[in-house]
Each structure stands twice: as structure tokens, then as C-alpha cells.
């Protein structure tokens, strides 16, 4: 199957550089004691990196609406799992 949309190499390089920057940010933030916000910051950065990979390297940004629905369903399922795990951890003694 032939792809109908090709991104310039400059775009891939920019996204890759941004991913490396976010990885370095994750490493830097992990060394700072933010208390209970460490997990929130790490998950926020991880979700941002996942979105970049999903949109640009997996070409979802230029895909059909059905692809967007299934990608959104995956993120919705991830949000459900994170919510359930967080509620379990917070209700323990």
C-alpha cells in the first residue's frame, strides 16, 4: 500500500530532537524531589512523548478519522487503567 502523505526529513528531525529533549527533561526532573508530583510530571512527559510518536512516526496525524477513533480509544483505556491504579494505591492503609 502506498502512503499518500510524506513528511519532510526536517519534521522527523525536529520531532526526534523534541523526544530527546523530553527524555532529558524526564531524567532531570527525576532527580528533583517534588513529593507526590514526581509521578504526575513523569506521566505527563510520557504521555507527551507517546503522542509525538503516535502522531508523527505512526502517521496518525494524517490518517482517517477511524484511525483517530481507535488511537483515542487506546488513550482512553490507558486513562482508565491509570485512574484505577491510582485509586487503588490511594485507598490503601
Q: Is 20 exposed, middle or buried (0-12, 13-18, 19+ CB in 10 A)?
A: exposed
CA angle 54, 60, 64 (to 5 degrees): 155
Q: What is the pLDDT of residue 4?
A: 62
Domain parsing of the chain, residue ranges: 6-62, 64-93
Taking the model in full, what pTM does it have? 0.77
- Mean pLDDT value across residues 52-60: 91
- Mean pLDDT value across residues 62-76: 92
Amino acid at each position: 500500500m502506498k502512503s499518500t502523505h510524506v513528511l519532510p526529513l526536517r519534521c522527523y528531525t525536529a520531532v526526534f530532537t523534541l523526544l530527546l529533549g523530553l527524555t532529558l527533561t524526564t531524567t532531570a526532573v527525576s532527580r528533583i524531589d517534588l513529593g507526590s508530583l514526581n509521578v504526575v510530571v513523569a506521566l505527563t512527559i510520557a504521555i507527551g512523548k507517546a503522542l509525538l510518536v503516535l502522531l508523527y512516526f505512526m502517521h496518525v496525524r494524517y490518517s482517517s478519522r477511524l484511525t483517530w477513533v481507535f488511537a483515542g480509544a487506546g488513550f482512553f483505556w490507558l486513562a482508565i487503567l491509570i485512574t484505577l491504579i491510582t485509586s487503588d494505591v490511594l485507598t490503601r492503609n
